[in-house]
């Protein structure tokens, strides 16, 4: 399961990561977020040496929500070398997330 991170860990875990990072901005009450969770767990296992996946709870990490203009959950942001390179708003299919990852790694 992807690690849950807070604002305090964001710089080191996401921006400072040597691997690309897929950040899942989610909410506990979001049904589409819950449906995507097993997909992200599968992708974490499939891409273990190529990408890191983290989860950020939008209910508690308001500073990150504001900084990255998260308007809806789920929002997936792909970071590479500390920079945002892609974003998917709303529920996404596994194939769409794979395409996003494969274009980045």
C-beta separation of 17 from 52 below 8 A:
yes
Catalytic (active site) residue 30: yes
Q: Which residue is catalytic, options 30, 39, 91, 98?
A: 30
Q: Which residue has the tokens 């710089």?
A: 11
Q: Which residue is catalytic, options 33, 43, 53, 54?
A: 33
C-beta separation of 47 from 20 below 8 A:
no
Residues annotated as part of the active site: 30, 33
């Amino acid at each position: 399961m992807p690690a849950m991170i807070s604002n305090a860990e964001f710089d080191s875990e996401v921006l400072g990561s040597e691997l690309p990072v897929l950040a899942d901005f989610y909410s506990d009450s979001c049904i589409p977020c819950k449906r995507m969770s097993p997909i992200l767990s599968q992708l974490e296992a499939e891409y273990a040496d190529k990408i890191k996946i983290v989860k950020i709870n939008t209910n508690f990490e308001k500073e990150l929500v504001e900084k990255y203009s998260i308007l809806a959950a789920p929002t997936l942001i792909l970071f590479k070398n500390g920079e945002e390179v892609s974003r998917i708003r709303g529920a996404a299919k596994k194939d769409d997330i794979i395409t996003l990852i494969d274009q980045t790694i």
